[in-house]
Amino acid sequence: MSHVTMTQNEETRVGVFVCHCGSNIAGYVDVAAVTAYARTLPGVVFAQDNMYTCSDGGLTEIKTAIKTHALERVVVAACTPRTHEPLFRDACREAGLNPYLFEFVNIRDQCSWVHRLEPEAATQKAKDLVRMGVAKARLLQPLEEQEMPVEPVALIVGGGMIGMTAAVNLASRGFQVKLVEREPELGGMMLRLDKLYPTQDDAQPLIQQRVAEVRRSKTIEVFTASTLHAIKGFVGNYDVTVRDREGRLSSFKAGTVIVATGARVFTPHGMYGYDGERVVTQLELEKQIADRRLQIANCNLQPAVSNLKRVVMIQCVGARIPERPYCSRICCTTAIKNALELRELNPETEVYILYRDTETQGTRYEAYYTRAREAGIQFIRYSLDHPPQVGEGRVVVYDELLGAKLGIPYDLVVLSTPLVAQEGAHELAQMLKVPLDEHGFFLEAHVKLRPLDFATDGVYVAGTCRWPSHLEETIAQAYGAAARAATILTKEHVTSSGVVARVDESLCRGCGRCVEVCEFGAPALVEVAPGIKVARVNPVMCKGCGACASVCPTGAMAALHFTDGQVMAMVRAALLNQK
Residues near other proteins (CB under 8 A) are 21-24, 27, 51-52, 82-83, 86, 169, 172-174, 196, 198-199, 201, 206, 320, 325-329, 357-367, 370, 400-401, 403, 437, 441, 446-452, 466-468, 470-473, 475-484, 486-487, 490-491
Q: How far is the CB of 85 from other proteins (least distance, A)?
A: 11
Q: How far is the CB of 294 from other proteins (least distance, A)?
A: 23
Closest-CA residue to 208 (of 193, 187, 182): 187
Spatial separation of the C-alpha atoms in residues 136 and 37, rounded to whole Å: 17
Closer to other proteins by Cβ: residue 214 or 452: 452
Distances (CA, A) of 422 to 251, 263, 464: 25, 4, 9
Q: How far is the CB of 355 from other proteins (least distance, A)?
A: 9
Q: How far is the CB of 296 from other proteins (least distance, A)?
A: 26
Closest-CA residue to 263 (of 151, 401, 419): 419
Closer to other proteins by Cβ: residue 495 or 577: 495
Q: Is 165 left (phi over 0), alpha (psi -120 to 50) or beta?
A: alpha
Dihedral in degrees, nearest 10, Cα atoms 304, 310, 311, 314: 160
Closer to other proteins by Cβ: residue 9 or 209: 209
Q: How far is the CB of 83 from other proteins (least distance, A)?
A: 6
Closest-CA residue to 29 (of 106, 103, 104, 116): 116
Closest-CA residue to 126 (of 227, 33, 55, 51): 33
Closer to other proteins by Cβ: residue 226 or 477: 477
Closer to other proteins by Cβ: residue 198 or 523: 198
501 phi and psi, to 5 degrees? -85, 150
Closer to other proteins by Cβ: residue 184 or 325: 325
Closer to other proteins by Cβ: residue 302 or 363: 363
467 phi and psi, to 5 degrees? -175, 145
- Asked if residues 431 and 230 have their Cβ atoms less than 8 Å apart, the reply is yes
Q: How far is the CB of 25 from other proteins (least distance, A)?
A: 9
Closer to other proteins by Cβ: residue 25 or 283: 25
Closest-CA residue to 130 (of 114, 108, 115): 108
Q: How far is the CB of 218 from other proteins (least distance, A)?
A: 13
Q: How far is the CB of 113 from other proteins (least distance, A)?
A: 8
Distances (CA, A) of 176 to 161, 167, 171, 507, 533: 18, 9, 6, 43, 37
Q: How far is the CB of 54 from other proteins (least distance, A)?
A: 9
- Sign, CA torsion 570/571/574/575: negative
User: Alpha helices of 220-323 — where are they, by DSSP H?
Assistant: 282-299
- Asked if residues 287 and 328 have their Cβ atoms less than 8 Å apart, the reply is no
Closer to other proteins by Cβ: residue 24 or 35: 24
